[in-house]
Structure 1
Amino acid sequence: MEKWFITMKKADFNEIAEKYHISPILARLIRNRDIIGDEAVDFYLNGTIADLYDGMLMKDMDRAVEILSEKIREEKRIRVIGDYDIDGVNATYILQQGLSELGADVDTDIPDRIKDGYGLNIDLIDRAIDDGIDTIITCDNGIAAAEEIAYGKENGLTIVVTDHHEVPYVQINEEKEYILPRADAVVDPHRADCEYPFKGLCGAAVTYKLVEALYNVMQRDPEDVDYLMENVAIATVGDVMDLTGENRIFVKQGLEMLKRTQNPGLKALIECTGVDVDRLNAYHIGFVLGPCINASGRLDTAKRALELLNARTRRDAVMLAEDLKALNDSRKEMTERGVEEAVRMIESTSLKDDRVLVVYLPDCHESIAGIIAGRIREKYYKPVFVLTRAEEGVKGSGRSIETYDMFAQMCKCRALFTKFGGHKLAAGLSLEEENVERFRETINELCELSDDDLQEKVSIDMRLPFPYITEQLVNELELLEPFGKGNPKPLFAEKDLRVISPRIFGKNRNVLKCRLQDQQGYQMEAVHFGDVEDCLRAMEQKNFMSFTYYPTINEYMGRRTLQLTLVNYQ
């Protein structure tokens, strides 16, 4: 059972509304997102590219720029080593484009998820040495590769790290001792000694800042690389970063650029997935385009996604886009099978009593373990690890809930892993097969989650009676976009509603339609996507129900009608 609560944050909503020419409803929604003070509200509503911070504020950015500008002038061979997910692929592309346009002799390498695993490894470094590479620059990885970087340095490589992951540490008494790799430059806003004002950038945004700084130093117009902001937007949404601060501007501007993109690969992907380019928003990156880019790193090689971004002809672009879409379709089928198997295992064993679910699916493709973990977390609202049999031992991915710091808990049983990394809400790990059961026991013994922690909280912005819902309000809500993590879509609620003629339709029977009537007799059309069968049963049993929703405009055959999209019900 979910726990609903209304966010009651205080402010003078009328004053904010007057000052920024918005409605008091919008003023309340902005306050609910902890946007406080004139400067913050102005940045939230009106922030532009001009408000982005100077990348040189990042620790070691000056060193990275100095090294790279020198290597470009000396015509040394540079290799960008990225990662196989959407952030890594876009970060690789940004560096490759930015450096080659400055005349660098640059190529790229991306690890294979299954063969190489995450991040830098000795093979990748040996490959660079064999190819006569002088300088490696990492993106979206490298901060945790101290040993591999030491090996590269011993073998004469210059290494620049750009990353956005947490810096690994060991806890000595109460003190954290951070382990920074001994690279020639380490650019990561999460460094304890980095004073960059915004810590929430993705890997691609860090590389964008580097390219911009490099253009300035080499006396080229940094506006020439503005177009790469569309790649930053894709990576920011795809890597599920908070859409606050600078990320909000990157995604807002990047989405506008993406609508008129000149990149043949992205154009082809938008077309072949059937996204309406005029209405393109963060949702389409997160749930339509992004998964296709990610699918190549999961089921094939991420180099295919990079090829798409690099495609020069329309023919190549269309072929690659269709390949990626097909890969994503088969990834979806595999995920469904994996989720069903995991649920069967949880329901039929003692697993269901655990507070932290550790599910071992030996035959599951290791690249979709994280997606399955996410789906299981949604179903049970518990932290979840899904483990699979790998080429060596067992590999897995974890997805957590707000009240459980997954990475901190894993640090307490690090002796069980051969490799692990991650952050509060997601993690990856490798371990020996004989340690699977011990890991399940240990992580549950360490778990201090209360019943309340394991109850999903639904945060409602405000009660919104039907008469307040107008087309003008729906249009005004667009000022709050882009929506996503850290800037959720507004959620309204109303109680004691009578449900009129609910019915399920759609070719997959996955849409529920009904009318809702409030106590004063006002009626609204409503739709619900999701657990439609359960919802219909509840509607048929109860005379009055409470719903959370957000208002939309439904356009059909030229007619525009107000409609509620229902999210939760009680």
Structure 2
Amino acid sequence: MKKWVVTAKRADFKAIGEKYHIDQVTARLIRNRDVVGDEAIREYLYGTIDDLHDPEQMKGIVAASELILQKIRENARIRIIGDYDIDGVTSTYILYTGLKKCKAAVDYEIPDRIRDGYGINRQLVQAAWEDGIDTILTCDNGISALEQIAYAKELGMTVIVTDHHELRTREENGEIHVLIPDAEVVVNPHQPDCPYPYKELCGGAVAYKLVQELYRMAGFPAQEIEELIEYAAIATVGDVMKLTGENRILVKEGLKRLNQTQNIGLKALIRANGLDGKEINSYHIGFVLGPCINASGRLTTAKKALELLLCRDTQRADVLAEELLMLNSERKELTRKGYEEAVEQIESTSLKEDKVLIVYLPDCHESIAGIIAGRIRERYYRPVFVLTNGEKSVKGSGRSIEGYSMFEEMQKCDELFLNYGGHPMAAGCSLEKENIQPLREQLNRNANLTEEDLMEKVCIDVPMPIGYITEHLIEELNVLEPFGTANKKPVFAEKDVQILGARILGQNRNVVKMQVADSSGTVMDALYFGDVEVFRTYLEKKYGDTEVEKLFQNRKTGITLSVIYYPTVNEFRGQRTIQIVISDYQ
């Protein structure tokens, strides 16, 4: 059962609407996303590339650019060390492309998820030194690698760190000390004394900023950097960053570029996913293209995804894109099996009574534990850890709910872990097998979660009669895109909508098409893409089999539903009609 709550943030919606020539509904949606004040509203609605902050404001960027250009003049060998996820791959691509353009002697290395684990390690440092590398340049990692970077310095190498993760801290005599690696230069907006005004950038965006400054110093025209903005957009959406402020502009501008991409590899991936000729939006990055890029780092090597982005041969690109598509299909199948096994385990044991779910799937591929944890969290609305057998110990990923800080709660069980890290909503860990049950017991004993906490809340932006919807309003809602974290797709709702008739459509009979009417007599089509059987059973319990039978025969009934929806325009044989897509009902 979900709890519906209306978001009721106050503002003069009429005045905002008049000032910016937008509907009051749109003004309310903007306020609900905490966009307040003239400058913020203007940037939100009309922000362009010119509104991005100057990279020189970021601590270390000028020094890093000068050092890289010096190394290029000296013909010193530079190695980029990235990460195996979508942000790491695209960051590596951005830096590699930028440095190549500046004529650097540069190569790259991406850690293997299983063999190396996350980020730069001692073996990668040793290998770079043996290969005659002078300078290591990290991206999307390095800020926590204090010992590894110290080792690189011992070997006489230069190290430049670019990262976006939070910095490690240590408490001494009641004081908190921030730990920064002993690199020549560190570029990370989270450094305590970094004046950069926007802190939510991903690794790809930090890399983009560095290359922007590098190009400026190298004398390239200002617009040259825009060729790389689509990769910063892919990284931002793929790494689930907040789509606010500067990130929103990066993604908006990057999507324009992505829809006309000249990248042979991306074109091949778009084709392989059947998106050729379609408008690519943030959904396609997050749920279609991004998972293919991530799949290579999960199941084989992320270098395959990077090879695709760097590919200059159409035939080779098509082969690589198909490989990534197949890997993603394999990942989906492994996820489905793992998810079903997890549900079976929860439902058939005392686990289902727990407030914090600890699911041990020994044979699950460790790279998909986090995805399965996310699915389980969606189903049960509980904090979830999915644990599996790693090479040396049990490894796991956690996904949380609002009101339960996963990282804080893990700190209370510090002695049970070999290693752990994360933030309030997600975490990773490793532990000995014999500590699984103690971890379950301790996390549940410490969990102060109430029944209210364990009820998922659906936040309604605007309770809006369907009679208010116009084509103009639907068109205007597009200014709110791109949708994603911290800029979610608007949620509309209406109570007691009459259901005039219904039929089941789709090859797999997985769509309900209804005709609905509101109290003012407005009639329109409505589509529901959820579980059709659950929907029908819900109606039968509430209204009885006979009424539901009549409904599906398009005969008059007394069936009404309160619905959460999003309005769209349906175009069929040249006819345009307004319809709603229902995402939830009560």
Is residue 545 from structure 1 mapped to residue 570 from structure 2 by the alignment? Answer: no
Conserved 8 A contact 1:361-1:386: yes
Q: Is the 8 Å Cα contact of residues 467 and 518 (structure 2) preserved in structure 1? A: no
- Check whether the contact 1:139–1:162 (CA below 8 A) recurs between aligned residues: yes
| 1:257-406 superposed matches below 5 A | 257-406=257-406
Match of 1:562 in 2: 578
Gaps of 5+ in 1: none
Q: CA deviation at 1:172?
A: 5.1
Cα distance in structure 1, aligned partners of 2:168 and 2:454: 28
Counterpart CA distance in 1 for 2:581 and 2:148 is: 50
Aligned to 1:491: 491
Supply the distance in 1 between the matched residues of 2:100 and 2:80 (Cα, whole angstroms): 11
Secondary structure of the corresponding residue to residue 79 of structure 1:
strand
1:210-247 CA distance string (max 9 Å, x none): 11111122222242121111001111111111100001
Q: Deviations over 1:80-117 (max 9, x none)?
A: 11111000000000000001100111101001111111
Residue in 2 that maps onto 1:245? 245
What SS is found at the alignment partner of 2:359?
Answer: strand
Amino acid at match of 2:484: G
Q: Which moved more, 1:431-440 or 1:338-347?
A: 431-440
1:169 corresponds to? 169
Aligned to 1:22: 22
Comparing 501-510 and 376-385, the one that deviates more: 501-510
- CA RMSD, Structure 1 to Structure 2 (Å): 1.5
CA distance in 2, matches of 1:131, 1:295: 29
Which deviates more, 536-545 or 480-489?
Answer: 536-545
Deviation at 1:174, TM superposition (A): 5.9
What's the counterpart of residue 145 of structure 1?
Answer: 145
CA distance in 2 between counterparts of 1:102 and 1:412 reads 49
After superposition, the Cα gap between the structure-2 partners of 1:190 and 1:408, relative to the gap in structure 1 and judged at 3 Å, is farther
Matching residue of 2:519: 519
User: Within 5 A, what are the aligned runs for 1:448-527?
Assistant: 448-527=448-527
Question: How far off is 1:387 after superposition?
Answer: 0.9
Give the whole-Å Cα distance in 2 for the aligned partners of 1:14 and 1:464: 16
In the alignment, the residues of structure 2 paired with residue 186 and residue 413 of structure 1 have an alpha-carbon distance, to the nearest angstrom, of 32
Query: Secondary structure of 1:497's match?
Result: strand
Q: Once the two structures are superposed, what CA deviation does each residue of 1:329-374 show, in whole Å capped at 9, x if it has no partner?
A: 1111111110000011111112112221111100001111111011
Determine the structure 1 residue equivalent to 2:8.
Answer: 8
Other structure's SS at 1:216 match: helix
Task: Number of aligned residue pairs: give it.
Answer: 570
Shifted more, 86-95 versus 148-157: the winner is: 148-157
Residues 181 and 277 of structure 1: CA distance in aligned 2, closer, same or farther (over 3 Å): farther
TM normalised by structure 1 equals 0.97
| Paired residue type of 1:517 | A
Please say if residues 467 and 520 of structure 2, whose CA atoms lie closer than 8 Å, have aligned partners that are also in contact. no
Over 3 Å counting, the alpha-carbon distance change for 1:441 and 1:85 in structure 2 is same
Q: 1:246 to 1:300 in 2, by over 3 A?
A: same
Decide whether the 8 Å contact of 1:49 with 1:249 is kept in 2: yes
Amino acid at match of 1:65: S
Between 378-387 and 268-277, the greater mean CA deviation after superposition: 268-277
TM-score of the two chains, using structure 2 as the length reference: 0.95
Quote the offset at 1:260 in angstroms.
Answer: 0.4
Quick check: which has more Rg, 1 or 2? 2
1:502 touches 1:536 (CA, 8 Å); kept in 2? no
Paired residues of 2:512 and 2:528 also in contact (CA < 8 A): yes
How far did 1:175 drift? 4.2
Q: Cα deviation per residue 1:225-280 (whole Å; 9 max; x = unaligned)? A: 21111001111111111100001000000000001000000011111101254421
Q: Distance in 1 between matches of 2:338 and 2:508?
A: 20
In the alignment, the residues of structure 2 paired with residue 178 and residue 531 of structure 1 have an alpha-carbon distance, to the nearest angstrom, of 49
Which amino acid in the other structure matches residue 561 of structure 1? T
Q: 2-side partners of 1:47 and 1:240: how far apart?
A: 21
**1:534 aligned residue:** 534
Quick check: 316-325 or 161-170, which moved more? 161-170
Partners in 2 of 1:479 and 1:337 — Cα distance? 39
3-state secondary structure, aligned to 1:189: coil
Determine the C-alpha separation between the residues in 2 that align with 1:217 and 1:227.
17
1:178 to partner: Cα distance:
2.2
Q: Deviations over 1:51-103 (max 9, x none)?
A: 10112212222322222121111111111111110000000000000011001
1:279 partner SS: coil
Task: Give the residue type in structure 1 aligned to 2:422.
Answer: G
| Structure-2 separation of matches of 1:345 and 1:478 | 43
Distance 2:130 2:402 in 1: 45
% same residue: 58
Distance 1:10 1:312, change over 3 A: same
Secondary structure of the corresponding residue to residue 364 of structure 1:
coil
**In the alignment, what sits opposite 1:105?**
105
Deviations 1:164-221 (A, max 9, x none): 1111223457643322222221211122222211111111000000111111222222
CA–CA separation in structure 2 for the residues paired with 1:119 and 1:413: 25
What corresponds to 2:187 in structure 1? 187
- Distance (whole Å) between structure 2 residues aligned to residue 197 and residue 454 of structure 1: 36
Query: Does 392-401 or 245-254 show the bigger shift?
Result: 392-401
SS of corresponding position for 2:106: strand
Match of 2:226 in 1: 226
In 1, distance between residues paired with 2:134 and 2:142?
A: 17
Classify 1:375/1:204 alpha carbon distance in 2 versus 1 (closer, same or farther; 3 Å): same
1: distance between equivalents of 2:414 and 2:187?
A: 26
Instruction: For 1:419 and 1:372, locate their aligned partners in 2 and report how far apart those are by CA, in whole Å.
Output: 21
Q: Secondary structure at the match of 2:418?
A: strand
* 8 Å contact kept, 2:16–2:27: yes
Instruction: Give me the whole-angstrom Cα distance separating, in 1, the residues matched to 2:445 and 2:78.
Output: 48
